[in-house]
Amino acid sequence: MTSGAWAHARIERCLVTGGLGFIGSHFIRLLLRERPDIEVINLDAMTYAGNPLNLHDLEDDSRYRFVHGNIADRTVVRAAIGAGVDAIVNFAAESHVDRSLRDATAFCATNVCGTQVLLDAAREYRVQRFLQVSTDEVYGDIPEGESTEDDPLRPRSPYSASKAAADLLALAHYESYDAPVLITRGSNTYGPYQYPEKLIPLFVTNLIDDQLVPVYGDGMQVRDWLYVEDHARGILHVLEHGEPGNVYNLGGNNPRTNLDITHMLLKACGRSPLTHVHHVGDRPGHDRRYAMNTEKARALGWEPGMPFVAGLHRTIDWYKANERWWRPLKSGDFAEYYALQYQAAPVKVPITTGGIA
Ligand code: TYD
């Protein structure tokens, strides 16, 4: 199969899984905005990170249908696909590394077994393309240089191990059954509607509330940041133009240390590093650096467009303007998780002492 044969694929009905989550909800909104004739079925399990408010504006859109269910549930999946879809984009996943370090059960059930159920059903119903949304974390720690798509996978957390397993299952379906599978590996993504357990929304919302921000270890870990709409556009581009059996790195080419990000957030929120940073114990097995080569996706015609400073300020402004979205998420179960995860972190700002090590 040549890439030319797949250029400009026309998708009429798309099953998106995990569409109430962060990147999935942005992807669905993009799809409906840019492909007016498309129909979208959103299959989402409504776990703690799936939020109906992320797509509340679509309630009256006749092109959009929501199905409540888990991708590991074969009956639900077969019913959703059997309704006739020509593409599947699998966002559904447990995605937080710290939670995977506490208990990886749900990560294996959803990320690994769920993906396999979807792949099997896609094959049974001869779905024309299947895009697996993956992550740069499957390459593991990259002390120097950049990961390219053919590099060996060396995941180092239970989360990234589960995503690597899903990638390998997807590629095995391509090799074994000629299934039209594509994989995107995105870098750290940020923007509005991100659940406040992740670095940027956690820190922004803590700072709005005059709380400390818990920096793991020395804060010199490097992540490559990609704005969520750029990520969503990349996934759509690969879905329509990518060549089955291929992996595409979608990186922001915007490496930053966690401390850099922290200082930008502190400044934007009018807080001082002397009073609002708390260095807590490091994450076990913490990958120091991720970095991807994105030539392949760029050659296909995608590139990120959002400059980082503008994207970060847009994100901060969104959290400042949407307290009603995130405030309920930070109470209840999340508050319990936070207390457990950051036991050593004081929750109130000390009056005199500095937090920086
Ligand atoms: P995170 O947003 O959890 O994404 P990932 O682990 O998938 O990269 O974390 C981004 C970086 O920020 C990572 O190096 C861990 C660090 N981090 C902290 O220092 N403190 C925190 O409270 C969190 C959530 C993350």
Which CATH number belongs to the domain containing residue 91 in this structure? 3.40.50.720
Of all protein residues, whose CA lies closest to atom 14 belonging to ligand 1? 221
Maximum separation of any 2 CA atoms in the chain, in Å: 66
pLDDT at 1 (0 to 100): 40
Is pLDDT of 348 > 70?
A: no
pLDDT at 32 (0 to 100): 97
Is pLDDT of 42 > 50?
A: yes
DSSP H or E run through 301: none
Segments forming the whole domain that contains residue 21: 9-187+227-250
DSSP H or E run through 115: helix 115-124
CA pair distance 102, 337, nearest whole angstrom: 10
Report yes or no on 215 lying in a domain.
no
Report yes or no on 94 lying in a domain.
yes
Q: Which of 141, 199, 216, 343 gets mutated to test ligand 1 (max ligand atoms within 8 A of its CB)?
A: 199
13 burial level (CB within 10 Å; 0-12, 13-18, 19+): middle
DSSP conformation class of 340: H
32, 34, 39, 44: CA torsion to nearest 10: -50
Mean pLDDT of 156-181: 98
Ligand 1 lined by 199 (C-beta under 6 Å): yes
CA pair distance 153, 168, nearest whole angstrom: 9
Q: 120 near 176, Cβ under 8 Å?
A: no
CB atoms within 10 A of CB 305: 10
Q: 255 near 291, Cβ under 8 Å?
A: yes
The dihedral region occupied by 46, where left means phi > 0, alpha psi between -120 and 50, and beta the remainder, is left
pTM for this prediction: 0.95
Mean pLDDT of 222-246: 98
pLDDT category of residue 357 using cuts at 50, 70 and 90: very low
Burial per residue of 26-47, b for 16 or more beta-carbon CB atoms within 10 angstroms, e otherwise: bbbbbbbeebeebbbbbbbbeb
pLDDT at 10 (0 to 100): 84
**In the chain, at which residue ranges do the beta strands (DSSP E only) sit?**
13-17, 39-44, 64-68, 87-90, 129-135, 181-186, 188-190, 213-216, 222-227, 246-250, 255-257, 277-280
Ligand 1 lined by 215 (C-beta under 6 Å): yes
CA distances from 162 to 94, 169, 175 (A): 9, 11, 20
Q: Which of 156, 189, 194, 258 gets mutated to test ligand 1 (max ligand atoms within 8 A of its CB)?
A: 258
CA pair distance 62, 14, nearest whole angstrom: 14
66, 67, 68, 71: CA torsion to nearest 10: -120
Mean pLDDT of 136-141: 98
Is pLDDT of 24 > 80?
A: yes
Which range among 130-139, 205-214, 255-264, 331-340 shows the weakest confidence by mean pLDDT?
331-340
CA pair distance 80, 348, nearest whole angstrom: 47
pLDDT at 345 (0 to 100): 53
Is pLDDT of 116 > 90?
A: yes
Q: Which of 216, 265, 278, 290 gets mutated to test ligand 1 (max ligand atoms within 8 A of its CB)?
A: 216
Which range among 30-34, 167-171, 208-212, 347-351 shows the weakest confidence by mean pLDDT?
347-351
Report yes or no on 107 lying in a domain.
yes
CA pair distance 347, 342, nearest whole angstrom: 9
pLDDT at 354 (0 to 100): 37
pLDDT at 89 (0 to 100): 98
| Residue the block writes with tokens 């405030």 | 327
Taking the centre of ligand 1 as the mean of its atom positions, its distance from the CA of residue 199, in whole angstroms, is 5
Report yes or no on 120 lying in a domain.
yes
Ligand 1 lined by 14 (C-beta under 6 Å): no
Mean pLDDT of 342-348: 62
Taking the centre of ligand 1 as the mean of its atom positions, its distance from the CA of residue 77, in whole angstroms, is 32
Ligand 1 atom, smallest distance to 97 CA: 6
pLDDT at 4 (0 to 100): 44
Residue 239's closest CA among 56, 71, 69, 89?
A: 89
Report yes or no on 127 lying in a domain.
yes
Structure tokens at 131: 């895009």
Mean pLDDT of 93-122: 98
pLDDT at 149 (0 to 100): 98
Report yes or no on 258 lying in a domain.
no
pLDDT at 343 (0 to 100): 81
Tally of domains in the chain: 1
Is pLDDT of 251 > 60?
A: yes
Report yes or no on 26 lying in a domain.
yes
pLDDT at 143 (0 to 100): 98
Is pLDDT of 240 > 70?
A: yes
DSSP H or E run through 304: none
Mean pLDDT of 247-267: 98
Report yes or no on 15 lying in a domain.
yes
Ligand 1 atom, smallest distance to 258 CA: 12
Taking the centre of ligand 1 as the mean of its atom positions, its distance from the CA of residue 265, in whole angstroms, is 14
Q: What is the pLDDT of residues 60-72, one digit of tens each?
A: 999 999 999 999 9
Is pLDDT of 272 > 70?
A: yes
Taking the centre of ligand 1 as the mean of its atom positions, its distance from the CA of residue 198, in whole angstroms, is 6
Ligand 1 lined by 97 (C-beta under 6 Å): yes
> 147 or 354: whose pLDDT is higher?
147
φ, ψ at 289 (rounded to 5°): -150, 140
Mean pLDDT of 2-8: 48
Taking the centre of ligand 1 as the mean of its atom positions, its distance from the CA of residue 294, in whole angstroms, is 22
CA 251, 255, 259, 261 dihedral sign is: negative
